[in-house]
Structure 1
Amino acid sequence: MALSPDVSDPVVSPPAPVRAPRQQSPFGALLLRLHFYAGLLVAPFLLVAATTGILFAFTPQIEKIVYSTELTVADPGTATLPLADQVAAARAAHPSGDLLTVRPGEGTATTQIDFSDPSLDADHQHTVYVNPYTGAVTGRLTTWWAATPLNEWLDNLHANLHLGETGALYSELAASWLWVIALGGIVLWWRRLRGVRSARRLLTPDLSARKGVRRTRGWHAATGMWLTIGLLFLSATGLTWSNHAGANFDEIIDSLDASRPAVSTDLTGSASASGGGGHHAGMDMGGGSAAVPVDPAAITTVYRSARDAGLTGAVTITVPADATTAWSVTGNDSLWPVGRDSVAVDSTGKIVERIDFADWPLAAKLTQWGIYAHMGQLFGPANQILLAALAAGLICVIVWGYRMWWQRRPTRADRRALAGAPPARGSWWTGLPMPAIAVGLPALFALGWFLPLFGIPLLAFLTVDFVLATIRGRRHNGGRPEAPVSPAPAGS
């Protein structure tokens, strides 16, 4: 007779198989550590750049509130006064200084007229604001390349934190590493999801994780995926006018003969030139006679001639130093399609040279479009809203990144720590294949030369990480060099 099993005996399930942790390649280990440390150390600068960038993007709206009297006309008329009369009204209110540039007002905008002042540096002027319909002076400001004091203050806050050349290093460092962090994050997220990749998994956070680092990582990575193209754009355009990388960029553009063109205003030898020579007013012209001064009243004729030549929208009229130099009229409309056509006009209204934006080299066009878009001007309010959303998203990604760092901190009683732990050090310094080193090192050196504030911190990181690994290895191996270790598990 078969014996019945004892129902009181517990049923023991076989142990679940232990899955070996997924191993990182040397490249993955290096990228993970680089993404972690770059994010940890550069993120504060990116946080400042994003916050100040939101403020700067909405400068036009803020200006119209702060400088409503100077910039706008409450009751625009039907016809504007001759431009020469508006300049005369500004001169009466500001009798000192040379007349430099004029930006005629239309619609609800006032006319802006710039005068030099020996007490100011070359970048600043006194700008007089005139009602183009009545000729009444509505105000005067000390401006920076035609930008209001508020615009200058917000621009310097974003670019250098009001610390001059030293402060500008912060924004260049942020721009130099933003693209590295963004692309590195994409690669890491792509590698983590291997085997289960889909558009939904790549672009949406894992909501099945109720809490912890897994949920935070999902929001951090998915949001970063959505922001990547915009972040790459901000990085590239920000670098074009940085001090060090921007200078290298300008050299390349110049070598390709793709710089922004400008009309020639030299009238020497033409029928319109008077007095001969090409020196500025008040300087000896070699024949003992002084340069013939320019009649400001000619600005009405010059302006009308530029309009008749097809220049529409907002323009800037640059006043020549003497009669041997032509006036220049340049479109300064930053909205798409960009109005940057330019003409050189003599005092009789004759067009002596013309350069249209359509004729600019492609590199110069891309640079100009990039600058306007980076400043939130190219597509008007839509551009501003997009920049604000991009900056806000970047702030969220940074906050989630720091939260992951905090969530990963050891919490056991024997391993408590105040902050999160870095990813485990892998064997990237010994495991990278020689072909990767042979190709990668020259490429990194070239990139580091072009972007100094990427190259110098990267060299410092690799050196310090290698030295610390060597010291730690010798300490753990009784003074012998560290043996290659297993790469860190993915996502550690």
Structure 2
Amino acid sequence: MSATPTVPAHRARRPSPSPRLSTVLQLVSRRLHFLAGIVVAPFLAVLCLTGLVYVFSPQIHDSLYRTDLHVNEVGDVRRPLAEQIRAALTAHPEATLKSVLTPPAADRTTRVVLSVPGPAGTPDRTVFVDPYTALINGELATAENRLPANTWLRQLHGNLQLGTPGRLYAELAASWLPLILLGGLVLWLARTRRKRRLRDVLLPSARDKTGWARLRAVHGSAGLWLTVGLLLVGVTGLAMTQFAGGRADRAADPIRLRAPVLTAAPVPVPPGAQPIGLDRATAAAEAAGLSGELAVNPPLAPGAPFTVTEIAEGLPLHRGAVAIDPYTAAVTEKLGWDDYSLVAKLSTLGTEFHTGTLFGLANQLVLAALAVATLVLLALGYRMWWIHNPYRGRWTSLPRPVWKQLAGWPLIAVLLGVALLAWRLPVLGASLPVFLAVDAGLSRLKSDAGRGLRARLSGNDRVSGRPGR
């Protein structure tokens, strides 16, 4: 008779110690980076493709609307704004003047923006007037001073022309992007703790020659180099979203997160006073220091001031705005770049960078390179996953479930972090239960597959007469 085997002491079950902070961080990052990356990557790819087109919208505008935007011949003296406005209103007697956008350059037309009768949401009618001849070059339907192609491309990038459902897709991708990036960054930088050279962290290692290891080296190095740019694009994109950014616009602003706006308080109406015209109001704004392309808004009621705002994009920054007394041409209020808080300045710079207008063509090329590199990064990630594809019976690519391994203060810290993110990023918070459900389902599937594999191996051992493992 054979003696009953005893379980070695070193194999006896002992309570597992609480994981260290670095271990917890790596476990959460690996699970998050893998699962969230697989699900969110298609949305990110669509954002990259649509953004790649949208970032070159200035060039598209110049090509599509060249006759509207450019004068036939640059003259010596510009006609008064009042004459140019009269030409636009003569062509559209049913409309009322909404604003005037002065030419941004000598070869550009004046934009006279008119409000036309119609139901709510009816676009404005922008008439392009040659400032040297007061002749009309063309007219277009515009929204918020955006040309039709810009509006269409902006909506394509922001909501795929689907309205609210499309905005949800874009905000979902933007909300998860920082988490996926930070998770990948944690995993890749953890390699430095394995006594690898710094060069192997920054560049693909020569030791990772082929196969999955080589893909991981390229994917990790590329992700490390792209992290800062993608985080900047993701955060600035979130600032312009419907829920994360829109909620901030509707809330109180005690620490001046947003750009300041003119109060434009009304002024007393002197008896028998005659209002000044747009030409004099524009001259007063220029004398107050405003320059470049200006948006001049006429008074909407007696005593209401003219408001003139710098709207030129890019560097050097033009962010001045003034309110002009409609009877005396005196400046009643003035705002400038110095009136922006630090956060508002960063938000303004970030928004212009995100739209490719901060430093011209170079900004556009940087964003285009980021978009193309991100598409390559996503393709590499999917290729890595496919090599260890669970649907081909290889479950090694699915990271171990981490939530059951957390206890005590690590679990509390993770839950608090999740709650804070869910509050600040509503779409992320709404999608978290779905993510956790998918995570639990995959863990259960992997566990069932593992038990089935062990059962088959045990059955084969009994049939062959070999001792079980």
| Structure 2 partner of 1:206 | 205
The alignment partner of 1:138 has SS state of strand
Asked if the contact 2:35/2:439 (under 8 Å) is kept, the reply is: no
Count, aligned residues: 430
Q: What is the aligned partner in structure 1 of residue 295 from structure 2?
A: 316
Cα deviation for residue 29 of structure 1 reads: 3.2
* Contact 1:274 1:324 (8 Å CA) reproduced: no
Distance (Å, rounded) in 2 between the aligned partners of 1:265 and 1:273: 21
Query: What is the aligned partner in structure 1 of residue 102 from structure 2?
Result: 104
Offset at 1:181?
1.1
Change (3 A) 1:134 1:41: same
Q: For 1:67-104, what per-residue CA distance to the aligned partner results, in whole angstroms no more than 9, with x for missing partners?
A: 00011123211221111111111112222211001001
Which deviates the most, 327-336 or 258-267? 258-267
Which residue pairs with 2:455 in the alignment?
Answer: none
Matches within 5 A, 1:319-334: 319-334=298-313
What is the TM-score normalised by the length of structure 2? 0.85
User: Is 1:397–2:377 an aligned residue pair?
Assistant: yes
The equivalent of 1:456 in structure 2 is 430
2:322 to 339, 343, 358: 343
Give secondary structure in 2 for the equivalent of 1:255.
Answer: coil
Unaligned runs of 5+ residues in structure 1 are: 1-22, 276-293, 479-492
Q: Show the 5 A alignment for 1:12-411.
A: 25=23, 27-105=25-103, 106-119=105-118, 121-122=120-121, 124-250=123-249, 254-268=253-267, 270-272=268-270, 298-347=277-326, 348-409=328-389
Q: Identity, % of aligned pairs?
A: 36
Aligned-CA RMSD value:
2.6
> Which residue does the alignment assign to 1:486?
none
Q: Does the Cα contact within 8 Å between 1:237 and 1:374 map onto a contact in 2?
A: yes
Name the CA distance, whole Å, in 1 between partners of 2:32 and 2:144.
Answer: 40
Q: 1:254 aligns to what SS in structure 2?
A: coil
Q: Quick one: which amino acid aligns to residue 198 of structure 2?
A: A
Query: What TM-score does the superposition give when structure 1 sets the normalisation length?
Result: 0.81
* Counterpart secondary structure, 2:318: coil
Letter in 2 for 1:438: I
Q: Deviations over 1:119-150 (max 9, x none)?
A: 25447200000111111100000001111110
Aligned counterparts of 2:271 and 2:395: Cα–Cα separation in 1: 74
Change (3 A) 1:453 1:267: closer
Gaps in structure 2 of 5+ consecutive residues = 1-19, 453-469
Evaluate the alpha carbon distance shift between residue 223 and residue 92 of structure 1 in structure 2; reply closer, same or farther with a 3 A threshold: same
Q: Distance in 1 between matches of 2:382 and 2:450?
A: 30
Cα deviations by residue, 1:206-257 (Å, 9 ceiling, x for unpaired): 3444431111222211111111111111111111121111134336661324
**Matches of 2:100 and 2:121 in 1, distance apart?**
17
CA distance in 1, matches of 2:75, 2:198: 56
Q: Assess if the C-alpha contact under 8 Å between 2:388 and 2:397 holds in 1.
A: no
| Residue 414 of structure 2 is aligned to residue 440 of structure 1 | yes
* SS of corresponding position for 2:277: helix
Q: Return structure 1 stretches of 4+ with deviation > 6 angstroms.
A: 474-478
Give the Cα–Cα distance (whole angstroms) in 1 for the partners of residues 124 and 204 of structure 2: 52
> How far did 1:433 drift?
3.9
1 or 2, which has the higher helix percentage? 2
1:252-284 deviation line (CA, Å, top 9, x unaligned): 66132443222232324x255879xxxxxxxxx
Following TM superposition, by how much is the alpha carbon of 1:312 offset from its aligned partner in structure 2, in angstroms?
A: 0.9
Change in CA separation of 1:232 and 1:78 when aligned onto 2, cut-off 3 Å: same
